[in-house]
């Protein structure tokens, strides 16, 4: 190794879902990383020396940070985690050279601000809407697109009447100022833990004979959405998995709810998709050659329940219920697939079915190959045009990450982390 950088965490740090770090950002010769105790750190990429460290929020109040930052121009954009622990979400921008904070956008407004009327009482104080997956950036519009997580508490919405803005939403923010240009809420008043932190995909195309700048999102709630990324105008929504919670998405983009699809005290096992969602953190891939969008999807039924409304306590969760019971259901009620979709219309061109709901991301290449992996460690390659199986490799461990490709000494390599091992393949 050329160098090693180690950061020592405090002995007590609250984490929702394990000790997770989702990557780095690189700007010129500086690396940026977030930490579980809610710090943002800049590191000299040549020497491994720490250049600066900033506390984003107080970890004693259950704030953590897991997402890879997004480094753009002279700024570093960083989100936080902790919606399941009673935090109030935000997205920050910092000066890349000095570490001074440039702006902060609170994803849960305080009383008197726009959107505050969508929170009952003082529920906004612990409203969640964390920003735990890295967003996207349009350099022409100078807009950052970032998804937000669930409102808190997760499964008991009784204490937070209203739509709970800006939870489960896609935000379009001005990079320079952090000003909100527009927002779109996928799941108002979410009670199923369907964060809208899925990676937004930006593409330019034509709809109904009109050139459009689009942002598309396969949402955790089971619907695929197409929006105008300049204005936030809702254009399309279609289900891509079995879902039972909504009759449809109306012409404004708002779900029309089905009755009997809320968590209950005794448990409700009739709800699709499951608590882990139809999609989650898994990276999608748009291929301009095939003009198709590729992403993994999860077909699951789960048992949702709610508990009495929790009280916020440092170091403790703030769930208000849960969604489990996977062992109760038949194999045909829990499986996965890789989808190839026409992004403008939501039409599915082909599917590749796998036995278990996936956690891996997707990579497509100019050579018309799509790569992904099963939870059990089977790394596979498909023909991007028709889904035909080309080859696969059993890595022998669980896969939660995305493959990447790069050139080394004139040869194209594909790498994928399988548990604690990084495996590389050379392409002929």
Cis peptide leading into residue 397 (ω within 30°): no
Our answer to whether residue 250 is catalytic in this structure is no
- Please pick, among 37, 193, 195, 276, the residue that the annotation labels catalytic: 193
For 16, 282, 293, the CA distances from 425, given in Å and listed in that order, are 34, 21, 23
- Report the distance separating Cα 381 and Cα 427, nearest Å: 11
**Alpha-carbon span 75 to 30, nearest angstrom:** 12
The β-bridge partners of 292 are: 287
**Rounded CA separation 319/308 (Å):** 10
| Contact predicate 350/383, CB 8 Å | no
Distance in angstroms (rounded) separating the CA atoms of residues 124 and 193: 17
Strand order in the sheet with 50-55: 25-27, 30-34, 39-44, 50-55
H-helix or E-strand spanning residue 192 = none
C-alpha distance from residue 372 to each of 169, 212, 403, 417 (Å) = 27, 30, 7, 11
* Alpha carbon 176 to chain centroid, angstroms: 23
**How would you classify residue 421: left for phi > 0, otherwise alpha for psi between -120 and 50, otherwise beta?**
beta
Report how far residue 326's alpha carbon sits from residue 231's, in angstroms, rounded to the nearest whole number: 40
The structure tokens listed for 48 are 């491994």
First to last CA, the chain: 28
DSSP secondary structure string, 371-421?
A: EEE-TTSEEEEEETTT--EEEEEE-SS---S--EEEEETTEEEEEEEETTE
Q: If we measure between CA atoms, which residue out of 39, 37, 41, 40 comes closest to residue 14?
A: 37
The set of catalytic residues is 193
């Amino acid at each position: 190794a050329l160098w090693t950088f180690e950061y020592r965490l405090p002995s007590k740090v609250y984490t929702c879902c394990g000790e997770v770090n989702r990557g780095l950002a690189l700007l010129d010769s500086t690396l940026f990383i977030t930490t579980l105790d809610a710090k943002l750190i800049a590191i000299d990429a040549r020497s491994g020396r720490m250049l600066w460290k900033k506390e984003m929020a107080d970890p004693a109040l259950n704030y953590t940070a897991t997402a890879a930052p997004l480094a753009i121009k002279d700024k570093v954009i960083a989100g936080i985690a902790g919606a399941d622990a009673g935090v109030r979400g935000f997205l920050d921008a910092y000066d890349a050279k000095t570490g001074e904070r440039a702006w902060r956008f609170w994803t849960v407004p305080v009383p008197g601000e726009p959107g505050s009327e969508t929170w009952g009482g003082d529920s906004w104080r612990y409203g969640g809407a964390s920003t735990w997956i890295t967003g996207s950036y349009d350099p022409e519009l100078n807009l950052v697109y970032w998804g937000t997580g669930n409102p808190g508490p997760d499964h008991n919405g009784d204490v937070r009447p209203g739509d709970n803005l800006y939870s489960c939403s896609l935000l379009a923010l001005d990079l320079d100022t952090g000003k909100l240009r527009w927002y779109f809420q996928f799941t108002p008043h979410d009670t199923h833990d369907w964060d809208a932190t899925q990676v937004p995909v930006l593409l330019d195309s034509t709809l109904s004979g009109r050139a459009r700048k689009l942002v598309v999102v396969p949402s955790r709630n089971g619907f695929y959405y197409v929006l105008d990324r300049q204005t936030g105008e809702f254009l399309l929504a279609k289900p891509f998995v079995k879902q039972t919670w909504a009759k449809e998405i109306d012409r404004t983009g708002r779900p029309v709810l089905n009755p009997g699809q809320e968590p209950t005290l005794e448990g409700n096992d009739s709800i699709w998709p499951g608590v882990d969602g139809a999609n989650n953190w898994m990276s999608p891939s748009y291929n301009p050659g095939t003009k198709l969008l590729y992403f993994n999807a999860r077909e699951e039924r789960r048992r949702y329940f709610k508990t009495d409304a929790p009280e916020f306590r440092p170091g403790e969760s703030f769930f208000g219920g849960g969604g489990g019971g996977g062992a109760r259901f038949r194999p045909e009620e829990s499986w996965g697939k890789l989808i190839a979709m026409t992004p403008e219309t939501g039409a599915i061109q082909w599917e590749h079915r796998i036995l278990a709901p996936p956690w891996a991301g997707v990579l497509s290449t100019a050579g018309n190959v799509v790569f992904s992996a099963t939870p059990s460690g089977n790394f596979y390659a498909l023909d991007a045009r028709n889904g035909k199986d080309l080859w696969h490799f059993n890595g022998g461990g669980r896969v939660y990450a995305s493959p990447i490709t790069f050139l080394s000494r004139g040869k194209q390599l594909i790498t994928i982390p399988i548990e604690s091992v990084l495996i590389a393949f050379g392409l002929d």
